Amino acid sequence: MLKIEIINGEVIKQSEEKEKEKEVHLVYNNEYAEGDAIRITVDKPNGFYVIQLDDAIRENFVYLTDNTFTYEVPFGEKKISHSPKCFYGKCHVLFLRYATTEEIEQYKNLCLNKYDINYKESACHPHADANVETRGESVFAAKNAINGNRVNTSHGAWPYESWGINRDDNAKIKVDFGRDVLADKIVMYTRADFPHDNWWSQVTVTFSDNSQIVWDLEKGDNPHVFYFDKKVIRWVELSNLIKSDDPSPFPALTQLEVYGVEAM
């Protein structure tokens, strides 16, 4: 059984429950109110699904480690890290389905999760977490680094959201896949709002198998790409972020991508 609900203390609307249904839709013909959340329920935790919690954000392939996942509809300061078209108006189309074999087996960006949430733990993977975020603001949250938006030539509200380190030389960010994956490439888009921004001349990439890559970077707005021997990993972490000699104190990460397939 698959289910989608709009909740705010109680269930406001839900999809029809049908046994053995492989896909459910919910059309919500109302404006969202503060406190509203979207809850999805699945009958098979530790499984692959495709979700669409907003028709402007579109669908995303995810791995759910629990039977339920709740996503709070953003308002106010939390909204500005999203497109203004998201969660707007009086007609919203949501869906939830099992991922197909082709979607599971394809080579892809294993970090991508447009519906990641800014909490230490989440049932919806991949999930990004960091030990610091600039002023706790949504436009500098760790989850921005895996939302698929690569625009890196400015900073602040969407489409320039990023992961900001609050000038902390000990900053680090970790992406947990929730399951074992077989990876062989990492891509980074560092923020390049020069001269406002600084940039990292070197970062250390640590994998869950305890192996590390010390990666020298160059200044620019182009993607940084690193290929490595295939390895089975459950998470990846960036740390030891060494700033360049440029005068700005503001290096930041726009997007982190890890490519590979499921380790099955």
- The phi, psi pair for 105, rounded to 5°, reads -85, -15
Structural domains of the chain, with CATH: 3-105 (no CATH), 108-262 (2.60.120.260)
Cα–Cα dist 76/84, whole Å = 11
Residue type, 195: P
pLDDT for 215 beyond 80? yes
Higher-confidence residue of 22 and 40: namely: 40
- Say if residue 152 is exposed, middle or buried (CB neighbours under 10 Å; 0-12, 13-18, 19+): buried
3-state secondary structure of 118: coil
Segment 166-190 mean pLDDT: 97
Instruction: For the chain, give the percent of residues with pLDDT over 90.
Output: 95
Q: Hey, what's the torsion of the CAs at 122, 126, 131, 132, to 10 degrees?
A: -100
Cα–Cα dist 173/255, whole Å = 11
First to last CA, the chain: 25
Q: What single-letter DSSP state applies at residue 169?
A: T
Segment 12-29 mean pLDDT: 88
Q: How confident is the model at residue 152 (pLDDT cuts 50, 70, 90)?
A: very high
Segment 177-193 mean pLDDT: 98
**What angle (nearest 5°) sits at the alpha carbon of residue 257, between those of residues 224 and 24?**
155
Q: What single-letter DSSP state applies at residue 1?
A: -
pLDDT for 16 beyond 90? no
Close Cβ partners of 116 (under 8 Å, ≥ 6 residues apart): 122, 124, 126, 127, 128, 143, 146, 147
> What's the pLDDT at 55?
98
Cα–Cα dist 251/163, whole Å = 9
> What's the pLDDT at 180?
98
Q: Please name the residue that has the structure tokens 């839900």.
A: 14
54-102 pLDDT tens trace: 999 999 999 999 999 999 999 999 999 999 999 999 999 999 999 999 9
pLDDT for 262 beyond 90? yes
Q: What single-letter DSSP state applies at residue 73?
A: P
Cα–Cα dist 264/55, whole Å = 31
How much is the pTM? Answer: 0.96
pLDDT for 149 beyond 90? yes
110-126 pLDDT tens trace: 999 999 999 888 999 99
3-state secondary structure of 33: coil
Q: How confident is the model at residue 226 (pLDDT cuts 50, 70, 90)?
A: very high
